[in-house]
Chains A and B, each alone.
Chain A
Amino acid sequence: MVLITLVSSDEQNFPVERELLKQSGTIETLIVNMNLDDEDTDAAAMPIPLPNVKGDVLEKVIQWMEHHKGDPVKEGDNEDNNAEIVVPQWDDDFFKPAMYGSKHLELTVAASYLDIKNLLTLSCKAISNTFKGKTGPQIREEWGVPNEFTPEEEEAIRKENEWSE
């Protein structure tokens, strides 16, 4: 079994099974191009630095990849009907504890950076589920987003959106 070492931005080392990394388009491309999965190559001597991912986030990403080991990896653009994607229970429980905090969002950014399509889809879907049926001010309050609109601007957008009610 080939182990590949990933190095997070805070210089923690994570030895990961080569098989798991097939889910990440970014790392998979690197491994294939550098022949890191060759038995004769000393893969341990060539750790992959991930300067955009912090250690605790990378740990979560690896945890997620381990659970989804063997899942089919989507190729190309996601053609699914986005509104109908259901987040499986395990993933829901996985995302939930950190949902309104930075951890979940950093996980989403990491999924985008590492090009892990399934994780990005599910994580974005989990976030979008929290917006369902909520008004702008409610979402603002829940996520702590500051209100930058002037009352006139808010009124203009409200008028613009009136018909969607």
Chain B
Amino acid sequence: MRKITLAIAASLLVGAASPAFAVDEPENMIKYRKAVMSAIGGHTGAIAGVVKGEVSFVGHVEAHARGINEMSKLITQLFPTGTDNGAFKDTRALPAIWQDRAKFDAAAQALQDESAKLIEVAQGGDAGAIGAQLQNVGKACGGCHKPFRAEKK
């Protein structure tokens, strides 16, 4: 009896927590793209640990660089029309993305190019060179974030 009650309670809880939004709805898109961006940030943060000399995993950098490169290929799909910070409060994506889409796509391409170079540099295993190329990756991140992302409130 007790087990059955628990089972019912659990299913009710799951029901309450299940998404109220349909597949690919803007809220879900925003949540997903933030997860992808966090993945990129996670990899850059990890590489930064190596460049700063906090950890000795120079051999890991290539894997992180590949992670950034793979994620960067998804970016242009993550910004469907109407998912800007004017329409939704949980995003810092500026309407400028859709006003100058060509510039936005070029900026996303720049991250693909710079992260591809980072893969190559990482194979060399020189932490100094990795740091220098990570700086170029950072510039590519900034190339999108400066014109297209609102500052934190």
Asked if A pairs with B, the answer is: no
B residues contacting A by CB (< 8 A) are none
- Give A residues with C-beta under 8 Å from B: none
